[in-house]
Every structure is written in structure tokens, then in C-alpha cells.
Structure 1
Amino acid sequence: MASLNCSAAVCVICLEKPKYRCPACRVPYCSVTCFRKHKGESAALRSLLLNPHLRQLMVSLDQGDNKAKLMRACMQEPLFVEFADCCLRIVEPSREEDS
């Protein structure tokens, strides 16, 4: 069992007191159930990040001068919108998914 030093840490899935950390990304989680959910979310994001077109969009956005204009252009790309939605589902799950 991996011990957690930070008493303020909470499980990234259910916000309970964590007992473990993900071996891949080190985020705290409290149970096998929460780890499996986290792993599933991470797998979806990883799958998207394997796409070379998405990776090129992100590099262009990162290296561009006018980031606001580039972001508006990227948000017209369905692949980038799918990526953004996936990220948002991970950081702010909808209430329907929780039930």
C-alpha cells in the first residue's frame, strides 16, 4: 500500500480520503473501484492523444503567438472538441455519470 503524506489529498473520483496513488500519474484514489474508473478515463484520453492530427493541433496551439485565435480555430475541429470534452469529463464529471 502506498502511503500518502498530504492530509488534504482526496480521491480523484469520489473525493473520499485516499489510501493509494495511481502508479502511472500519481493521483490519489481510495479503492479498486475508483482506480478502475480513473484508469478507464485515462485510457480514453490516452487513445485520443495517440492521434497525430490532434498532437499537431496541440503543438501548433502551444507554439502559436495568438493563442486565443488559435484556440477558436482548434475548437472548430471535431477531434479537438472531442479531446476537450474528454478532459472536461475527467476533471468535472457530470452528475448523470455519477449515479
Structure 2
Amino acid sequence: MKTTIYIQNLKCGGCANTITKNLSTIEAVSEVTVNVEESSISLTYSNDEKLAEVKDKLKVLGYPEDGEANGLGAKAKSYVSCAIGKMS
């Protein structure tokens, strides 16, 4: 199945790099594409459990789905993820 997820805190290519690397490690998730301008991620996944795993991973990295709580903690995590993505 293929879907697009709209997320918060996506700022640059560093963020996109971190997201792509982390989501690509999830088994049965492929074709991960990050669109910084639209703050979206497109991907292919095998089942709803994998999609839930993707959303949980995004939240841990600091990129919660649009409409979810976006507190200071999530914003801080996204800055760290961004910096890591720029360095790798």
C-alpha cells in the first residue's frame, strides 16, 4: 500500500535525510520520499501495523503527524534530528 503522511517540524534537507534513513530501516517499508516544501512523506508499506510503526518512529524523531500534539519536546527532538541529518 502507498500513502502520504503530512508532518510537523520538517525544515530542511537535514531533516529529510534523517527521516529517510530511519524509515528505510523498518522492514516492509520502502520507496520513502520526503517533500520538504509540502512537509510530507510518501512511502510504500505492507500493512497497517507497519504504518503505525512509521508514525511512531516519526514522533520519536520529533516529526509528529499534522494534527497531533507538537510540544516543545517534539520541536527540540526535530532540531537534533535535523542536525544529525546534516552531518551524515
TM over 0.5: no
Query: Scaled by the length of structure 1, what TM-score is found?
Result: 0.30
Decide which structure has greater helix share: 1
> Which of structures 1 and 2 has the bigger CA Rg?
1
Decide which structure has greater strand share: 2
Q: Which has the higher contact order (CA 8 A, sep 6+)?
A: 2
